[in-house]
Structure 1
Amino acid sequence: MAGASEALFTQPLLLLGGAVIAAPIFRKLGLGTVLGYLAAGVVIGPVLHLIGGSGEILAVAELGVVLLLFIIGLELKPSRLWHMRRDIFGLGTAQVMLTGLALTGIALASGLLDWRAALVTGFGLALSSTAFALQLLEDYGDMNSRYGQRSFSILLFQDLAIVPLLAMVSVLGTPSGDGQQSAVIEVAIAVGAVIGMILAGRYLLTPLFQVIARTGAREVMIAAALFVVLGSAYLMQVAGLSMAMGAFLAGVMLAESSYRHELEADIEPFRGLLLALFFIAVGLSMELQVIVDNLALIAVTVPLLMAVKALVLYVICRVAGSPHRDALRICMLLPQGGEFGFVLFTTAAAVGVLSSGQSSLLISIVTLSMALTPLTALIGQKLLAREASEKEEIEEDFEGAGSDVLMVGFSRFGQIAAQILLASGRDVTILDDSPDRVRQASTFGFRIYFGDGTRLDMLRAAGIERAKIVAVCTHKKEITDKIVDLIRSEYPDVRLFVRSYDRVHSLELRARDVEYELRETFESGLLFGRRTLEGLGASEDEAYDIGEDIRRRDEERLKLQAQEGILAGRELMHKRPVKPEPLIKPKKPIHTVEPERDAPAA
């Protein structure tokens, strides 16, 4: 009992310590955090033997891949996924089929495998690593580039392909009649599970989060998010699909939900930590003895595998219309074996298609190809560094995060401002922390998301890094100041347009270097005064001129107060007590106003 209890603490400490030490070192060297995590795993496990039994750690760490796919699903609403269908089913199918057949032919030509083992080997090695590729895309900031989206489309089809490939292994490992019947049943169950997941996501998930959001308990929202992700992943695994595919479908079903950004921000810390653990676990699982015993074969096989996959990827991407730069990036990003190869080769060994030794050798080949991927991707980035100064971004259908304007707060003031922006055809990402307001606004066609604008992770999830202007329209002065201070400290170059509470608040905001501020009642007060003046018989032009003069003098006084303090206006009145300014069109310069005509200023 004492040994188990000690391992419960020492293993997490070793894993976390390895991540903390290796990741900064490798990032500083320009090799990326992924390679650092792999190196940490190799040192902790196969080299120093500080941790054994990497299979259990890898099983837990795969939740990082699951959470990663969920977050990616949140970025892809169904209509956008449909728009990507040609890349998913065109490029994806071509990559799996052509690479699988080419590698099968090479395996047969080697004379080391029979046709069944060669077929499983070829198509198992045709799959790439979703976790490695997407993490590298995220590190480079290229997830939303055109080549990043095409890479993701290929990876998504590979995740779908695991179902027929497992069915193929089942057929090859059992008598023909039983195998065919079993394969048909497995495919039918998988299709039914996908349909059921889509229906549940459409009719159950959003109402569930609406109920939970009303409680106001943040920990319950986090628990609900993890429950949905892990529950959908488990159901898909039971149905024969990958856990990652289940989480991805759940994310897609919630992509149009108002709670999308809140979910993304809640899941992100777990995703990052578990994904790092996954890469460390891959390093832990590397069997150095198998590599030493088959060093010559592996030294030939790993480069050959990566070269064949890269060549096929480059050719099909060029045929599909990708420019040379994008095709080269894709082929340098996806030449490795994938984590689903572990599942396929282990299953093949269990049904007798592969021997245990062959399975271990193939898993070692996949692991080494993964370890080399950050280097190949880095080489691709370096080769194209001079041409990559301007990165092509996908703007079409990039709803939510990525809009020109990020609006925080959607009370009456924000609603009016948003109508003008939307009427002009601009895209606006709107964040508000009131579940009732989110629900009500969505019924009028506003694209509004549930989230707390005082949280940095929420602002990032909502696309602040891509927003041209951040409009802070919250109605509480304290909340507004907190958001402005947070953005100014983390994103000092962001253009800030802010709703002000009163004159003093306007001066405080100008001191914070906001680009534009407006008192929430100033414009409405001016308009009301103009209309009242017209009601008393003044002409529309006269009332307008008076209003504009008031606006001009107010701005002059604000600038002076911003420089010299709130009492600076006294000097303008020749040291007399501060008097309001006239409400009639002035016939004299502003400094010669008669005090007896003064009235309260806005």
Structure 2
Amino acid sequence: MDSFLLEASVFLAAAVIAVPVAARLGLGSVLGYLIAGLIIGPGLGLVADTEDLRHFAEFGVVMMLFLIGLELEPRALWDMRHRLIGLGGLQIVLTMLAVLIACSMLGMLWQTALAVGMILALSSTAIVLQTLTEKGLIQTSGGRATFSVLLTQDIAVIPMLVAIPLLATVAPISANPDGSISRRPAGGEVHHGLSLVEGLPGWGVALVTLAAIAAIILGGIYGARPLFRFIHASRLPEMFTAVALLIVCGIGALMMLVGISPALGTFLAGVVLANSEFRHELESDIEPFKGLLLGLFFITVGAGIDVDAFGREPFTILGLALGVIVLKGTVLYVLGVGFKLKGRGRWLFTLGLAQAGEFGFVLISFALQQQVLTTQLGDRLLLIVALSMLITPLLFLLFDWLEKRLDTATETIEDDEIDEQGPVIIAGIGRFGQLVYRLLQSAGKKAVVIDRDMQTIQMMRAMGYKGFFGDPTRPELLHAAGIDTARVLVVALDDPKQVNRLVAYARRIRPDLHIVARARDRTHVYQLYQAGADDIVRELFDSALRAGRYVLENVGMSEYEAAIAQETFFHQDRRNIRELASLWDPTKSAADNPAYLARAQELEKELERKLFETLEARAQKDSDAA
């Protein structure tokens, strides 16, 4: 017990220190866990044998696949089928084929080479999605293509886990102490636990397997809702957690009884339950356990990496890792050309997915258990996957460098020729800009729409509206749209820097133009006032005020009083923020700006006093009228 608590403390302490540091450096949590494992394992020697702990931690992978299944509604998957099967499927197949050929040329058995191809075909979902989100690239053409491939890879893990044991039909060769060659039994270790298929003929195994899968599907469709309603009636929140864990554990155990990877069953159950009204409850209950166990799994992977092997042949390992990146990058670039990704989108797609991923660790561990890989090859693959993930931040830096230096001539050709002008120009037609445009259309007012998202423009055209594809920050497009004669410019772009740049340019060339701009937050409002915007709308301000009014109505105020409070707060806050904009200094934080802080506190008290006086005056007026 003492050793268990000590080992648990070591693992948790390593995670608590290394993961936040890695996240601050932009490396991501997965690399943080790997680094933590390297420190406490090969680095300091604080843990010795992690094999038993890794088997326990692999349950986190099962939970991850259950949660991935919950996110994949069958209808949404069907709508994405062309991109998933085409772009994502081709990436996996072509990468596996390229690795298979390369490994076969090195003398590997085709079964082993195919397993290596599966492992290296996958990219890092955790690192790539986190980086795309942080850089605001997820909604770009390259970002959407990257997400589609990552989603396909996550789904492909399931058939890979099913296929790997089949590759053990020829046992790996190993050397005996006397130097002779022998083969280990195929199929991995023999387990003598309870099995529903042991001793059955092939057709019997197939029937039992199909019955187990059918039981999961039917149970999810017809049994899950009554079960969760029954648990909900108990009014015990912890019972939801217990049921969520029971579903994952029970389905995993059933799959093991029929000789299938538990990940397959839990993923299937997640897809079946994706349309359930209890889906979000399941996600919130499973997520903490998944995160902890998955982090533990990556720590054990890091602790088990053979650093001595890297020290014996560092250039070979590094060369192989770079070779994997170059090979995958070549396949991705060719696919980008074939699927008409252009410019920065193609390079984002190529460099963003060129590394190996965290699921590679899962497949390596599973392949070692099934004796598809030798221990020496497994250790080398662990190093290659980990190194390629460590190189990923450098690949995104390379993308940033290329993005700044790409010739924009190709992008200029893609832009539409704007042949209309109007009194209103809307730059950006996302969720924010769409509402503005629909209101103008409903009122019979004409607007010229420019957006660089081709998919959004095509959707507008399909609905009967006209929009122009192009970068609205480009001066020539703005002039073609009528910026010289327009009365109003609506800037509804996602990127705050682009919003600031466009507002400043429009104000410089048209001092009389009325500019309505979308702001990300309060600080962005100050920047836009300095850039010259007239009306600034914070993304969540109006919706948050409406939510606050509903709260006031339900804590004792009448609808009339709550509406007065909302209106008073709205106008007073707008006046306050205009005054504070003159005191805001972009070179200082708010905490380091005494004049700003002092006036902000005064205005906040003034706001409270104004709101109280307004409500009191209204109450007195109503009393006098009665």
1: distance between equivalents of 2:68 and 2:24? Answer: 27
- Alignment map for 1:19-34 (pairs within 5 Å): 19-34=15-30
Partner of 1:170: 168
Please, which of 528, 535, 544 is the counterpart of residue 495 of structure 1? 544
Please, which of 275, 283, 302 is the counterpart of residue 264 of structure 1? 283
2: distance between equivalents of 1:264 and 1:392? Answer: 32
Please, which of 351, 366, 374 is the counterpart of residue 385 of structure 2? 366
Query: One-letter code of the match for 2:544?
Result: R
Please, which of 95, 102, 106 is the counterpart of residue 99 of structure 1? 95
- How far off is 1:222 after superposition? 1.4
- How far off is 1:217 after superposition? 0.6
Query: One-letter code of the match for 1:127?
Result: L
Find out whether 1:329 has 2:348 as its counterpart.
yes
Partner of 1:284: 303
Find out whether 1:564 has 2:613 as its counterpart.
yes
Query: One-letter code of the match for 1:158?
Result: A
- TM-score of the two chains, using structure 1 as the length reference: 0.61
- How far off is 1:151 after superposition? 2.7
Aligned to 1:495, the other structure's residue is in SS state helix
- Alignment map for 1:373-452 (pairs within 5 Å): 373-377=392-396, 379-380=398-399, 384=403
Aligned to 2:58, the other structure's residue is in SS state helix
Partner of 1:207: 226
Higher mean C-alpha displacement, 265-274 vs 217-226:
265-274
Is contact 1:561-1:568 (8 Å) kept? no
Is contact 2:27-2:390 (8 Å) kept? no
Please, which of 7, 13, 17 is the counterpart of residue 11 of structure 1? 7
Find out whether 1:48 has 2:97 as its counterpart.
no
**Alpha-carbon displacement from aligned partner over 1:422-477 (angstroms, at most 9, x marks no partner):** xxxxxxxxxxxxxxxxxxxxxxxxxxxxxxxxxxxxxxxxxxxxxx9xxxxxxxxx
- How far off is 1:216 after superposition? 0.9
Residues 110, 347 of structure 1: alpha-carbon distance in 2 compared, 3 angstrom cutoff: same
Is contact 2:34-2:301 (8 Å) kept? yes
Residues 148, 362 of structure 1: alpha-carbon distance in 2 compared, 3 angstrom cutoff: closer
2: distance between equivalents of 1:311 and 1:133? Answer: 18
- Alignment map for 1:87-166 (pairs within 5 Å): 87-111=83-107, 113-130=108-125, 132-133=127-128, 146-163=144-161, 165-166=163-164
Find out whether 1:76 has 2:76 as its counterpart.
no
- How far off is 1:255 after superposition? 1.9
Is contact 1:88-1:157 (8 Å) kept? no
Residues 16, 349 of structure 1: alpha-carbon distance in 2 compared, 3 angstrom cutoff: closer
Residues 230, 48 of structure 1: alpha-carbon distance in 2 compared, 3 angstrom cutoff: same
Is contact 2:41-2:303 (8 Å) kept? yes
Partner of 1:60: 56
Partner of 2:267: 248
1: distance between equivalents of 2:205 and 2:121? Answer: 22
Residues 317, 357 of structure 1: alpha-carbon distance in 2 compared, 3 angstrom cutoff: same
- Alignment map for 1:284-323 (pairs within 5 Å): 284-323=303-342
Is contact 1:169-1:348 (8 Å) kept? no
Query: One-letter code of the match for 1:222?
Result: T
- How far off is 1:494 after superposition? 4.8
Give the RMSD, CA atoms, in angstroms: 4.3
Residues 15, 285 of structure 1: alpha-carbon distance in 2 compared, 3 angstrom cutoff: same
Residues 374, 52 of structure 1: alpha-carbon distance in 2 compared, 3 angstrom cutoff: farther
Is contact 1:173-1:351 (8 Å) kept? no
- How far off is 1:570 after superposition? 7.1
Is contact 2:333-2:350 (8 Å) kept? yes
Higher mean C-alpha displacement, 499-508 vs 159-168:
499-508
Is contact 2:333-2:346 (8 Å) kept? yes
- How far off is 1:50 after superposition? 0.9
Residues 507, 90 of structure 1: alpha-carbon distance in 2 compared, 3 angstrom cutoff: same
Aligned to 1:255, the other structure's residue is in SS state helix
Is contact 1:232-1:246 (8 Å) kept? yes
Query: One-letter code of the match for 2:32?
Result: G
- TM-score of the two chains, using structure 2 as the length reference: 0.59
Residues 210, 108 of structure 1: alpha-carbon distance in 2 compared, 3 angstrom cutoff: same
Is contact 1:77-1:256 (8 Å) kept? yes
- How far off is 1:192 after superposition? 5.4
Is contact 2:92-2:153 (8 Å) kept? no
Residues 31, 195 of structure 1: alpha-carbon distance in 2 compared, 3 angstrom cutoff: same
2: distance between equivalents of 1:382 and 1:241? Answer: 46
- How far off is 1:331 after superposition? 3.4
Residues 496, 368 of structure 1: alpha-carbon distance in 2 compared, 3 angstrom cutoff: same
Partner of 1:85: 81
**Percent identity between the aligned chains?**
35
Query: One-letter code of the match for 1:90?
Result: G
Residues 32, 170 of structure 1: alpha-carbon distance in 2 compared, 3 angstrom cutoff: closer
Partner of 1:546: none
**Alpha-carbon displacement from aligned partner over 1:69-117 (angstroms, at most 9, x marks no partner):** 3333333221112222233333343223211221122123334x34443
1: distance between equivalents of 2:368 and 2:234? Answer: 50
Is contact 2:115-2:167 (8 Å) kept? yes
Partner of 1:217: 236
Partner of 1:448: none
- How far off is 1:213 after superposition? 0.8
Query: One-letter code of the match for 1:151?
Result: V
- Alignment map for 1:512-527 (pairs within 5 Å): none
2: distance between equivalents of 1:142 and 1:383? Answer: 15
Is contact 1:92-1:158 (8 Å) kept? no
**Alpha-carbon displacement from aligned partner over 1:38-95 (angstroms, at most 9, x marks no partner):** 2222111110011222233333333333333333333322111222223333334322
- Alignment map for 1:334-345 (pairs within 5 Å): 334-338=353-357, 341-342=360-361, 345=364
Residues 156, 117 of structure 1: alpha-carbon distance in 2 compared, 3 angstrom cutoff: closer
2: distance between equivalents of 1:182 and 1:119? Answer: 28
- How far off is 1:129 after superposition? 4.6
- How far off is 1:495 after superposition? 3.0
1: distance between equivalents of 2:71 and 2:168? Answer: 35
Residues 386, 58 of structure 1: alpha-carbon distance in 2 compared, 3 angstrom cutoff: farther
Is contact 1:31-1:378 (8 Å) kept? no
1: distance between equivalents of 2:612 and 2:118? Answer: 71
Aligned to 2:105, the other structure's residue is in SS state helix
- How far off is 1:21 after superposition? 1.8
**Alpha-carbon displacement from aligned partner over 1:521-565 (angstroms, at most 9, x marks no partner):** xxxxxxxxxxxxxxxxxxxxxxxxxxxxxxxxxxxxxx9994516
**Alpha-carbon displacement from aligned partner over 1:254-304 (angstroms, at most 9, x marks no partner):** 222222222222233333333333332332121111222332321221110
Query: One-letter code of the match for 1:57?
Result: L
**Alpha-carbon displacement from aligned partner over 1:206-239 (angstroms, at most 9, x marks no partner):** 2211111111110111111222233334434555
List alignment gaps of at least 5 residues for structure 1. Answer: 396-467, 469-490, 517-558, 582-597
1: distance between equivalents of 2:153 and 2:543? Answer: 34
- How far off is 1:191 after superposition? 5.7
Query: One-letter code of the match for 1:162?
Result: M
2: distance between equivalents of 1:300 and 1:378? Answer: 20
Residues 25, 42 of structure 1: alpha-carbon distance in 2 compared, 3 angstrom cutoff: same
